[in-house]
Amino acid sequence: MSMNIISDYCVAMARYARVSWMASALCLAACTSGPPVNTLRVAAHPDTIVLGEVAAYDVPARLLGSDWHFSVEPGTYTAEKEDDQGTYFRAQGYPVTVDTGATTNLVWTHAGGIWVPRDASKSPRIYYYTDERRPKGMVENPGAAYGVIVHAEAGKVQLVYDAKDARFAATVRANLHSATR
């Protein structure tokens, strides 16, 4: 084996380790921003959001060198939980996809949906249950670090950062159906 191949391998592994640790640190730091599920009330109304197509937005992840892409699948999202700030609309299954971009090439699908704030001047956001996810394109249990992150996030709702793209908010609000109260 030539020294160049070994050198290239070591550089690639060092890059992978750095990216993995940064992604882990971001996940652990972000996990404290969502409310614990047990602090949310059952929604007082059966409103729905019905999406006919994927709704998505990107969030800059400058430390990792690429944007993260968050999306929700087409379907019916029903008001499930609420707090003083807004309502959590959830679809069945794993409708939320988190794509960490080309730098890390990690994609997860999560249980979750769309959070709609009570304050109409704020944008709806994607949310997901941190302990209900499925990795795509990787083994189900890749190691201890993954298990530590999942355990640390268990029982929390992760609200994705605000959508800077006004199209996401417009799509959600246009497809929000209030139940007769």
- The partner residues of 110 in beta bridges, in order of sequence, read 96, 133
Q: Where are the domains of the chain?
A: 3-177
Question: Which tens digit of pLDDT belongs to each residue from 16-54?
Answer: 545 554 454 444 344 336 788 888 999 999 999 999 999
Please report the pLDDT score of residue 124 as a whole number.
95
Q: Measured between alpha carbons, how far apart are the two ends of the chain, in Å?
A: 73
Look at the alpha carbons of 58, 68, 98, 34 in this order and tell me if their dihedral is positive or negative: negative
pTM: 0.72
pLDDT in tens, 49-107: 999 999 999 988 766 667 889 999 999 999 999 999 999 999 999 999 988 877 667 88
pLDDT (0 to 100) of residue 103: 65
SS3 65: coil
| SS3 of the chain: helix, strand, coil, percent, to 5 | 30, 40, 30
Residue 3 DSSP SS3:
helix
